[in-house]
Amino acid sequence: MRQYNYYRELIWMSLRKHGVLEKCVRWIKILYQKPSSVVGCSAGTSKLFPVEVGVHQRSVLSSLLFILCVETVTRDIQKPHPLCLLYAYDVMLAAETREELQAEVQLWKDSLQRYGLRLNIEKTEYMECGARKEDNTICVDGNDLKKVAASTKLGRSEDTTV
């Protein structure tokens, strides 16, 4: 099974698990059924060619589908709010200690991986708040995560002075 077909199966499963009517699932499937495109330029327009994609990039529907899929595959490991927040393409995890946070990030990475998804280690950052700040770092599968003093994730700016 091609990778993008696997993601689509995860999308259909997630929609159904969230109680989306089968009629709506079929309509969404139509959007992804044999997508094709043409390229237009001053020399003319190309012939129709197939586009092999997982989801349509930068569409409102894609953001919603992403959230549904992540919520589906991580439902069993999510902590209550405010320790776990899903927002568009971002996830925020909070913990009392660095060790707890490292374990949480590793658990999320492993859970996503079971469904063919990938935690982007290069974009994963962490921030420490409070009086006790340490020099060590959080490590996931041997990769150090970037420590930041401020974050603009989740649609707003936060800093360590909290």
Return the number of other C-beta atoms located less than 10 Å from residue 61's C-beta.
11
For residue 158, the model assigns a pLDDT of: 57
For residue 153, the model assigns a pLDDT of: 62
Tens of pLDDT along the chain (162 residues) come to: 344 566 889 999 999 999 999 999 999 998 888 778 889 999 999 999 887 766 666 678 888 888 899 899 999 898 888 888 887 678 889 998 889 999 999 999 999 999 888 889 999 999 888 776 667 889 998 999 998 888 766 555 555 554
CA distance 81 to 17: 21
For residue 51, the model assigns a pLDDT of: 77
For residue 160, the model assigns a pLDDT of: 52
Q: Which residue has the tokens 């405010």?
A: 82
Nearest to 90 by CA among 151, 15, 138: 151
CA distance 152 to 92: 11
User: Does pTM surpass 0.95?
Assistant: no
| Maximum CA extent, the chain | 63
For residue 159, the model assigns a pLDDT of: 55
Strand pairing class (146-147; 125-126): parallel
For residue 151, the model assigns a pLDDT of: 73
Beta-bridge partner residues of 37: 49
CA distance 98 to 138: 7
- Exposure letters 73-109 (e unless 16+ CB within 10 A, then b): bbeeebeeeeebebeeeebbbebeebeebbebbeebb
Q: Which amino acid is at 81?
A: H
Residue 37, class by beta-carbon neighbours within 10 Å (0-12 exposed, 13-18 middle, 19+ buried)? exposed
